[in-house]
Structure 1
Amino acid sequence: MTPPSRTTSVPRNLRTDMPTRAAYSSDASIYRRVPAAVQEPRTVDDIRDALAFARERGWPVVARGGGSSVAGNAIGDGLIIDTSRHFNRIISIDPAARTAVIEPGVVCDQLRAAAALHGLTYGPDPSTHSRCTVGGMVANNACGSHSVAYGTAADNLVDVTLMLADGREVLITEQGCSDPDLHHALTALQAENAELIAAELGRFPRQVSGYGLHYLASNMAQAVAGSEGTLGIITRLTVRLVTQPAHTALAVLSFDSVFDAARAAVHARLPGVGTIEGMGGDLLDALRTRHGQENAGRELPGGTAAGGWLYCETGGATPEEARALAADVIARTSPTDAVIVEDPARVRALWSIREAAAGLVTRLPDGSEAWPNWEDSAVPPEHLADYLRDLYALMARHGLRGIPFGHFGEGCVHVRISFDFATQKGVATFHRFMEEAATLVSSYGGSLSGEHGDGRARSALLGHMYSPAMRALFEQFKLIFDAERLFNPGVLVWADPVTEGLRMDAGQRSLAITPVHRFSDDGSLINAVNRCVGVSACRSMDNAMCPTFQLTGDEVHSTRGRARILSEMFRGETVSVSDAADALDLCLSCKACASECPVNVDMATHKAEVLHHRYQGRLRPRSHYVMGWLPLAGHLLHRIPGLPRLLNTLLNLPGMSRLVARMGGLDPARPLIRFAPQSLRKWDAGRARARDGDTVVLWPDSFNATLDTSPARAAVEVLERLGFQIIIPREFVCCGLTWHSTGQLNTARRVLERSARVLRPYLDQGLTVVGLEPSCTVMLSHEATELSADPDVARLAELITPFAEVVSPRLTEMSATLPRSPLHVLTQVHCHERSLGHPGIARELLDALGITEEQISTGCCGLAGNWGFEDGHADMSYQLGERELFPRVRETQGTVVADGFSCRTQIEQGTDTRARHIAEVLRDILADPAS
C-alpha cells in the first residue's frame, strides 16, 4: 500500500499520548504491539475519518471491543479503533422477530439485560460476558458455556455491516452482500471451491480456526464471524435473540479425574441441556490460594477427593421437568458424586468458580505463572478425553504444567500453561510445544481454536490443520474485502510467527526498580505487574473494580490499562516513571483489584511504589506533605492546649478554608476536615476506667484519635460493657497508611516499625489489638508485613483484630437476652475492608441483634482517603459518590453506618448526613436495649 499525501484532518477522539498508547499495547494475550494512535469513535463518520487518516500514514487498522482477546487479535502497531466507550448503542429490539440491531461496542451483558425486558436473551455467553463486546464476540466467533444449546456467535448473526478500507459500508446478509462486485466474488469463490470447503471446513461446531467459508453457501453474513477484524470494521450488527427455559436446574458432577469428566461429557448431550462445562481439580487448588477463598469449592460434590467436575444446566417448562432432566444426565454419565442445585444464589456461587477460571489459572497452586496461547483448542467431543490425556503427556515431555477447564460438551478445552518467556531456552521450548500441539490436535480432526480465534497465538500454525490450497483460499477471501491488507495484518493470513512481539520478553526489564515492598512474586515489581494477564474483569460494571473506569469508560483508568502502562515503563523506551505516575493519578488505591481481580493485581501498592520512585530525593507535591504527614501533625497539634479549637475557628472564617486548601495543594471545592476539640488520649486520661476483665489494646489510629473521636469513645464503652479492660497507648503510633498511599514508603516503614516497638510490651503478652478504622486495620494486617521484615511488625499483624470481630462472640451470646432491635441500617463497607478484611462478621453481628441491614454495592465511597482531597479530584470524587452511595443515603429512612473515617466524611460532605461507626450503634443498643 502506497500512502497518499497527508491532507486529512485529525479525526475526532483520536488519542496519541503515550500512556493511552501503552494502555492498548496488549489485550489478554502474551503479545505486545504499541499502537501509533487510538480512536474512540462516536459515529460511523468518525470511523470513516479515522480510516482515511490511517491510510494516509500507512498505518494498519485494528478494531477493538473489550480487549479480552487471549489470542492477540485486538492489538496492532497502527490505529486501534475502540468501539467500546462510545459506539455502543442498542438501536432497536424486535421481540416478535427475536432480533436486536446494535453497534459493535455493546457489551454482552448490556444486550442481555435489554433483551430480558422482552423475555429474551443473547445466547452466546463467554466467561467475560460482563465486559466483552458483541462486535468482538462476532469477530472471534465466541461461544460460551451455553453453546451446546445456542451455538456460536456465527449461529446467532443475522446480518453485519462492514466499513471497508475506502470508507464504504457494505451490508452482508443471509442472502448476500449489498455490493454487487463483492457479492459476485464471494459467490464465485464458494462455487469454484465447494468440494475443498466441504472437505476441510465445518466438520464440528467448535472448528473456529481460519475463515468460516463453509457459511458462504447458506448464510453469507455468518462467514464474517470469526474473521478477527481482518476484513473491515464492523459498524452495525443484527443478532438473533432466544428464549430461555422457564425453569433451570444445575447438576454438578464429580469424577476421579479430569479425563473421566471429559469422557462423560459426550453422554450429557441431551435435548434441553444448556451447558456441559468441565474443569480439573487443580483449579480449586489455585483458587484456594486467594485471600478469602481458603474454603472455596467446599460445596462441590466429591470435595477435595475429586479430580474433575462437569457443570450441566438443564431446562424445562416446570421445575420438575428441569430436575428430572438433571437426574437423567447424572444417570447417563456415572459420576462418583453429584448434586442438583436450583437456588439462584447457590447456582451463582458455583458458576463463579468456573467463570473465574480464565484469570485464576494464570497462577498455578504453587504460585508459579501460567500463560495462554494453547488455551483454546477443540476436538470432536467423542475424542476429548484421549486428546486431553495426550496433551498432558505433551506438556510433561516439555516440563510444562497447566490447569484445564472449558466447554467439554463440545470438545473445547482451555488451559493456561507454565511457559517461560524470560529466557531464550524457555521461548524455544514454547515454540516447539506450540508446533507439536498443533500437530496433536490436528491428528484428532480438531481445531487450533474453539472460540477465541487464531490471532497472533495460532495463525502461523494453520498449516498443521489446513492444506496449502485451503490457506490460499483464505488469502483470496481476505483480499476480496481488503485488497490493501489494511486490517489486522499478521492474523489468519500472512501470519506473524508465534514468538514475535512477546509481552514478557527481555526488553521489559530494561528499567531496574528495586521495590520497597517484599512482593511474593519473587520480590519483583515487574513480576507483580505481569500478574495482569488482561482478562479485563476490571472493565466490568457489576463489581467494585475499578471505580474510575466505571465512571469514565477509559481503558487508561482500568486496572489492566494501568498495568500495561507500568509494563511499558519497565522497558524504559516510551513511558517514563513520571508518565506512569501521572497515568496512575486517578487510581483511588481502593484495593478492590487486590481481591476482585482474578489474579489479585494490587494496583494500590504498585501506585505507592511508582510514587516512591518518582519522588525519591525530589520535592513532592504539597498535598503529599499535608495529607501524608497528617497523622503526626494531628498528634502534635493536640499536645498544645486549645490549638485544635483555634485552628478550627480560623478555618471557619470566610475564604480561609479555600485559601488553606490552595496553599496545601488540596482541592478548594472540598471542605477541609476539622480536628477534634479533645484528643482520644486526653479523654481517656481524664475518665474512670474499668480495672478488671480481659485486657485488650485499642489501636489509637489517627482518624479516631485526633479527628473524630466519637467512634473510639463509643468503642471503649462497648468493650467495657462486654467485660474488657482497655489500654490506649499514650505515645504516637500509626500504621503508616497516609505515607504509604502518597508513596513515602521509607517513612511509612519507619513509622510502622517505631509503632510496633511502642506496642512491644503488649505484643509480648499476646494482647489483642483492637482496630476501629478499617483502612488502618487492613494496612497493619496485610501491607505492613510486605513493607517491613521487623518481627514486631509481624506480631502486630497477627494480633490486630477488627472491632466487630472482638465484640461479636460476646454480643452474639448476649443477643438472646436482648430485645430484637427494630433498627434498619444502610452500610457503606470501607473499600479496604471489603477487599482484604472480613466484613461478613459485622453483618452477622447485626443480624444476631435483629438489625435489618442493606449494603452499598459499588465499593469505594469515592473519597478514598487523601485522594479525594488532592487538587483536581473533588469533582470526580463526588461523581463517584453519586453512582449509588449518595442517592441511597438521601433515600434511606434508617441509620447510615460507615466504619471508615473517609466514608463518613464523604457521606457528610455529599449529603449532609452524619454516618455512624458500628461502635456507636452498638453503644446505643446496649445503653437502651428497648429503644
Structure 2
Amino acid sequence: MLLMCCGDHDAASRHVRTGLRTDMTTRAAYTSDASIFRRVPAAILEPRSISDIRDGLAIAKAKNWPIVGRGGGTSVAGNAIGEGLIIDTSRYFNRIIEIDPINRTATVEPGVVCDQLRQAAAPYGLTYGPDPSTHSRCTVGGMVANNACGSHSVAWGTAADNLLEVTIMLADGREVTVDDTGCDDPNIDAAMKKLAQDHAALIEAELGRFPRQVSGYGLHHILKHPARAIAGSEGTIGIITRLKVALVPLPKHTALAVLAYQTVFDAAAAAPYLRLRGVNTIEGMGGDLLAALRSKNGQERAGENLPGVDENGARAGGWLFCETGGETLEEACELAHQVVGVTPVLDAVVVHDQTDMRGLWHIRESAAGIVTRLPDGGEAWPNWEDSAVPPENLADYLRDLYDLMAKHKYQGIPFGHFGEGCVHVRISFDFSSQAGISQFTSFMKEAAQLVSRHGGSLSGEHGDGRARSALLSEMYSPAMRKLFEEFSLIFDPDRVFNPGVLVWADPVDDGLRMDPGQIRHDPQPRHLFPKDQGSYRNAVNRCVGVGACRSSSGAMCPSFQVTGDEVHSTRGRARILSELLRGETLAGFSSTEAEEALDLCLSCRACAQECPVNVDMATLKAEFLYHHYRRKLRPMAHYVMGFLPLTMAIAHKIPGFALVLDAAMRTPAIAKILARLGGLDQSRPLIRISPVQFRRWWKKYSQPDSEVTAATTVVLWPDSFNNNLDPRPAQAAVSLLHKLGIAVVVPHEFLCCGLTWHSTGQLKTARRILEHSAKVIHKYCDQSHTPVLALEPSCTVMLRKEATGLSPDLRVAELAERTVSFVEFVAPLIKNAVDSGQLRIAERNIQALTQIHCHERALGNPGPARGLLEALGIEESCIETGCCGLAGNWGFEAGHAEMSQQLGERELFPRVKAARTQAAQQETEVAVIADGFSCRTQVEQGTGERAQHIVELLDAIVEPSS
C-alpha cells in the first residue's frame, strides 16, 4: 500500500524508497516496549541511512504523524512507543564507524548494540562503561536517549557521563551536532546557553544533586558539557543519527565479592560504605528474588552458590555484588576481601574464576525478567521501576517504600544499583479492573511524593517516559517544569517528537497494555496452562518485553537472529497475540497477521528456558493454530506432517510399500510432485523411510539368554522417527542395554507422543494419541519402578514436560514420571560397568561434535551425555547456536527451506565440514552426534555427512571385557 497525501507524489516515492512498513502485522509488534503501555503506531521505518531518516520525517510531516525513535525497545518507561511513525534504528542503522584507541573514543550509529560496541573495543583493552542488564540487546542510541547506566556506574558513570558528541536530526530534516563546545547551529547554541545562564540559580538548586538524578532534562550540563544535556531527552527533541562516546580501560583482572545480609535494608545501608577505589559494582537484591528464581522451570536449586544459602534455603534477606578490579589477580582478590570486611555481613564469598563469576552475575542480571513473576506465581509489573535517592538515604527510602506497598497490599522484589541509590522493583499492580487501575494511580502519586521527601528522583536511569513524566510535578517546581518546556521547544518547536513524554505529559494510566479491554477474545484453551491460571491471555502476558529474545547470544528466537525483524522475535509475536486478544486491530483468532508472525516460529522452545519469564511461544503457537483452523480446512502440510507417524506406521504394515514409497521420494521428479501436493517445500529433499521397521526387526531379534535373568527391565519407547524412518539408534539401544544386562520390552501397539499433531495445532488429536499411548504403556509398566526410555529428544520432552499441560489424564502424568532420556538412564550404568571391569572401551581416537536438539537444550538435560563422553575419554565440542534449522515439520513446510538453510549455515554446517577436514588431516575419527532425527536429517541434507545418535557411538565403543 502506498501512502498518498493530498497528491503528494514526493512523499509516496519516499515511502517506496525507505521501505516504510504500514502492515498491521508489523504495527502490532511495535505496540509496546518493556513497559505497561500500549500505542498503535501508524508506520514503522527501519532506516539504512541518514537520507532514509530524512525521508521518513518528510512522510511524517505530510501525514501529520508524531515521531518516536526506538532502539532495542527495552525501555520499561514507555518512551519507545507512539501512535505515529516509529523509527527503529536497531536493524540496519547500526555501524561502528570508528574505534579510536588512542583517544579512547568510539563513533557509532545509534542502532549499535551495547555488547557489539564492547566487543569491538575489547581488543584494545577498552570497553563502553554503561552496561545495563539488557546490554546484549539494548542500543547505544537508546541508552543515551534514556541516560542508561548499569551495574558499573559507580566506576564509569551514566550514559551522559560518557557522551562526547551527538548528532540529531530535527523535524525539518536538518542535522545538528552538540559537543562539549556547544551546538553547531548558532541559533540553537545561543538559545541553550541563554536558557542556562538566565536560570542558573534555579538549575543549581533543583538539578544535578546526585549522580542518579536523571528525571527531566539535564539542563545543568549545558554550560560545561552541552552534549550531556541531550542524554536523557528520551527522543523528545530529535532523532539521534550519530554518537561519539568515551571508552574506558578494562580492568586487567577482576574478582567478585558477594555479601549476604540479614535483610535487604541492611544491604542498602551498607552499600554507600563500599564505594572504594577499584570497586566497580555495588549491586543489590532482595531475598525474595531467589524464591522467584527458584519458582521458574528447572531452577529449583538456583542460587545455591550464593552466600547465606544452604540446603534448608536462604538465611539471608539481601545481597550485594561487588566486582573489584586490579592490575593483577592478587590485587583484585585482595580488594574483594577488603570489601567483605568493611561492614558486618551474615556471610560472604569471593570468587575470581570467570565461570563462577558469570554464574553469580546471572542471578542479578536475570532479575528484570524474573521478578515479573512473584514466588507465588502472581504477576508483577514495572512502572515504579527505577527510582533513586542519594545512597546514604537508600535504606530509609526502601523501608518507607515497603510500607507504602503494604498499605496498598502490593508485593514487590527490589534489586538494583544500591551503591548509587537506584532501586528497581516490579510491583503486583492489578490492571484487571477500574478499581485496580485507580489504586495504581494513587500508589504512583504517593510513591513520587515519597521519593521526593528522601531527596530522590523518579527515575534513576530508564527515563521518565509515560510511566512517570506526569509525576514530575511532585519532584520539580513549576518554574523548572516550565524550563523543561522551553528547552524542548528550542529543538522541536512543533512538538512532533515523542509527545506525552517529559513535557506536556500523558497521564500515568493512559493507554495501559493490560487494561480490562484486553479480554475481548480469550476462549477456553485446549492447553491447561497450569502456571497461568488456565488462561491463554495470562500466558501471553508473561512477555513483559525485556527483549532477551533479541540477543544475538543464546539459542532463543533463531528466526529473529537471521532476520533481525521485531515481528520474528518472541516479544514481537507476543505483542501480536496480545493485539489478537484485544480484538481492536486484529480480528481475533482468525487473524492472518498473527498467522504470518507465527509462521517463522520454529517451535524450538528456547524461549521456554532462556526467556527470563519462560514465555513458551511453541505452546502459544500450537494453541493459536488450533483456534485459527478450528472447523476449517488446514494447510496440506499440517495433514501430511502432522499425521506422519500414523502414515508411516500404516505404510510399514503393507508388505513392500515402505520400500516403494522411499524410492518414489528419492526420485527427483516424483518427489517434487509429492512435495507440491503435500504443501511442502520443493527445494529440499524429502525424508527417507526405512525399508525395515524397528518393531519388525525387534520381533526377529535374537534375545540373549541374560534377558530372562536380568535384574532390571525397561520399556523402550518406539517413537515414530526411530521406529519408521531410521531404526539404527533403536537397534543400537537394544544392543547396548543387553551389554549392560538389562531386559528390554518394546510395545507392539501403535504409540506416539503426539508431537507432530501438537506442533501443527491439531490439539484434540494430539491429546487422543497421547492418552491412548499412556494407556498402552500402563499395561507394560505394572511395576512402579519400570522406566520408559526415550531416544528421540523431542519425544522425551513432549512426554516429560508438555504432555501434562495438554491432558489431565492421570496415566499421562504417570507416563511423564516414568519417562527418562536414554542417555540419562545409561550414563551412570556405563560408568559403573567400565569402572568395575564388566565392560571396556575400545581404543579409538575419537573427537565428537555434538548438535544438541533444541528441545533437549531448552527443557531437557543434555548434561549426562556430555559427562559420559568426557568420562569415556572422548573430546567433545558443541554447536552453540541452538536449533539446527530443520525443527521437525517446520523446515519441510513450503517457504521455509531458505531460512532453514541459513540457520544451518550459522555454525552447524561449517563446523561439520571443518571437523571432517580436520579429522582427515590429523588421522582421527570424528563422530557428529545429533540425537534428534530432524537434526541428523539437516546435517545430511546440508553437508552430505551422516550424523549419528549418541547411542550408536556408545554401542560401537562399549564392549564386553571378555
Are the equivalent residues in 1 in contact too, given 2:739–2:959 (CA < 8 A)?
A: no
Give the Cα separation in 1 of the matches to 2:198 and 2:867.
70
Partner of 1:80: 86
Displacement, 1:579?
2.1
Which sections of structure 2, spanning at least 5 residues, go unmatched? 920-925
Give the Cα separation in 2 of the matches to 1:692 and 1:828.
37
Deviation string, structure 1 residues 844-895 (Cα, Å, up to 9, x no partner): 1111111111111111000000000000101110100000111111111321
Give the Cα separation in 2 of the matches to 1:210 and 1:199.
14
Partner of 1:328: 338
Are the equivalent residues in 1 in contact too, given 2:848–2:928 (CA < 8 A)?
A: yes
Secondary structure at the aligned position of 1:352 is classed as helix
| Counterpart check, 1:837 vs 2:856 | no
Displacement, 1:119?
1.2
Displacement, 1:821?
5.9
Q: How do residues 275-354 of structure 1 correspond to structure 2 at under 5 angstroms?
A: 275-303=281-309, 304-354=314-364
Displacement, 1:5?
7.4
Partner of 2:750: 732
Deviation string, structure 1 residues 559-615 (Cα, Å, up to 9, x no partner): 000000000000112123332122100000000000000000000000001111111
TM-score by length of 1: 0.99
Deviation string, structure 1 residues 643-684 (Cα, Å, up to 9, x no partner): 111112223334111111111100011101121111011000
| Counterpart check, 1:896 vs 2:928 | yes
Q: How do residues 753-832 of structure 1 correspond to structure 2 at under 5 angstroms?
A: 753-766=771-784, 767-816=786-835, 817=837, 818-819=840-841, 822-832=845-855
| Counterpart check, 1:652 vs 2:663 | no
Give the Cα separation in 2 of the matches to 1:595 and 1:880.
20
Are the equivalent residues in 2 in contact too, given 1:252–1:340 (CA < 8 A)?
A: yes
Are the equivalent residues in 2 in contact too, given 1:406–1:412 (CA < 8 A)?
A: yes
| Counterpart check, 1:563 vs 2:585 | no
Displacement, 1:763?
3.5
Q: 1:860 aligns with which of 849, 861, 883?
A: 883
Give the Cα separation in 2 of the matches to 1:823 and 1:236.
51
Are the equivalent residues in 2 in contact too, given 1:375–1:415 (CA < 8 A)?
A: yes
- Comparing 180-189 with 578-587, greater Cα deviation is found at 578-587
Are the equivalent residues in 1 in contact too, given 2:722–2:728 (CA < 8 A)?
A: yes
| Counterpart check, 1:36 vs 2:32 | no
- Comparing 171-180 with 847-856, greater Cα deviation is found at 847-856
| Counterpart check, 1:233 vs 2:239 | yes
Deviation string, structure 1 residues 106-164 (Cα, Å, up to 9, x no partner): 00000000001211100000000000000000000000000000000000000000100
Which sections of structure 1, spanning at least 5 residues, go unmatched? none
Give the Cα separation in 2 of the matches to 1:405 and 1:210.
23
| Counterpart check, 1:500 vs 2:510 | yes
| Counterpart check, 1:924 vs 2:956 | yes
Are the equivalent residues in 1 in contact too, given 2:739–2:960 (CA < 8 A)?
A: no
Partner of 1:112: 118
Partner of 1:910: 942
Give the counterpart letter for 1:529 in structure 2. V
Q: 2:735 aligns with which of 708, 711, 717?
A: 717
Displacement, 1:692?
2.9
Q: How do residues 407-806 of structure 1 correspond to structure 2 at under 5 angstroms?
A: 407-519=417-529, 520-576=531-587, 577=589, 578-689=592-703, 690-693=707-710, 694-766=712-784, 767-806=786-825
Are the equivalent residues in 1 in contact too, given 2:130–2:153 (CA < 8 A)?
A: yes
Give the counterpart letter for 2:941 in structure 1. Q
Are the equivalent residues in 2 in contact too, given 1:381–1:411 (CA < 8 A)?
A: yes
Secondary structure at the aligned position of 1:656 is classed as helix
Q: How do residues 160-171 of structure 1 correspond to structure 2 at under 5 angstroms?
A: 160-171=166-177
Give the counterpart letter for 1:410 in structure 2. E
Partner of 1:56: 62
Give the Cα separation in 2 of the matches to 1:815 and 1:824.
20
Give the Cα separation in 1 of the matches to 2:378 and 2:207.
38
Give the Cα separation in 1 of the matches to 2:833 and 2:870.
13
Give the Cα separation in 2 of the matches to 1:363 and 1:145.
23
Partner of 2:265: 259
Give the counterpart letter for 1:811 in structure 2. I
Displacement, 1:4?
8.6
Give the Cα separation in 1 of the matches to 2:327 and 2:263.
34
Q: CA RMSD in A?
A: 1.2
Displacement, 1:83?
0.1
Give the counterpart letter for 1:848 in structure 2. A
Secondary structure at the aligned position of 2:75 is classed as coil
| Counterpart check, 1:886 vs 2:909 | yes
Partner of 1:871: 894
Give the counterpart letter for 1:905 in structure 2. T
Are the equivalent residues in 2 in contact too, given 1:692–1:724 (CA < 8 A)?
A: no
Q: 1:821 to 1:441 in 2, by over 3 A?
A: farther
Are the equivalent residues in 2 in contact too, given 1:815–1:848 (CA < 8 A)?
A: no
Give the counterpart letter for 1:121 in structure 2. T
Are the equivalent residues in 1 in contact too, given 2:164–2:227 (CA < 8 A)?
A: yes
Task: Provide the identity percentage.
Answer: 65
- Comparing 331-340 with 598-607, greater Cα deviation is found at 331-340
Give the Cα separation in 2 of the matches to 1:123 and 1:758.
60
Displacement, 1:929?
8.2
Secondary structure at the aligned position of 1:570 is classed as helix
Deviation string, structure 1 residues 30-79 (Cα, Å, up to 9, x no partner): 00001000000000000000001001111000000000000001000000
Give the counterpart letter for 2:740 in structure 1. L
Give the Cα separation in 2 of the matches to 1:929 and 1:646.
43
Give the Cα separation in 1 of the matches to 2:959 and 2:643.
37
Are the equivalent residues in 2 in contact too, given 1:763–1:795 (CA < 8 A)?
A: no
Deviation string, structure 1 residues 264-320 (Cα, Å, up to 9, x no partner): 001100111100000011111011111221111101111111111000011111112
Give the counterpart letter for 2:148 in structure 1. A
Displacement, 1:395?
0.1
Give the Cα separation in 1 of the matches to 2:405 and 2:659.
70
TM-score by length of 2: 0.96
Displacement, 1:928?
7.8
Give the Cα separation in 1 of the matches to 2:699 and 2:612.
47
Give the counterpart letter for 1:803 in structure 2. F
| Counterpart check, 1:181 vs 2:187 | yes
Give the Cα separation in 2 of the matches to 1:294 and 1:847.
26
Deviation string, structure 1 residues 305-348 (Cα, Å, up to 9, x no partner): 11110000111111121112112211112211111100001101
Are the equivalent residues in 1 in contact too, given 2:747–2:780 (CA < 8 A)?
A: no
Q: 1:315 to 1:579 in 2, by over 3 A?
A: same
Secondary structure at the aligned position of 2:285 is classed as strand
Displacement, 1:921?
0.6
Secondary structure at the aligned position of 2:906 is classed as coil
Secondary structure at the aligned position of 1:526 is classed as helix
Displacement, 1:927?
3.5
Give the counterpart letter for 1:573 in structure 2. E
Displacement, 1:764?
3.3
Give the Cα separation in 1 of the matches to 2:815 and 2:809.
10
Q: 1:813 to 1:186 in 2, by over 3 A?
A: same
- Comparing 505-514 with 16-25, greater Cα deviation is found at 505-514
Q: 1:30 to 1:700 in 2, by over 3 A?
A: same
Partner of 1:393: 403
Q: 1:221 aligns with which of 196, 221, 227?
A: 227
Are the equivalent residues in 1 in contact too, given 2:270–2:343 (CA < 8 A)?
A: yes
Displacement, 1:436?
0.3
Partner of 2:107: 101
Give the counterpart letter for 2:532 in structure 1. D
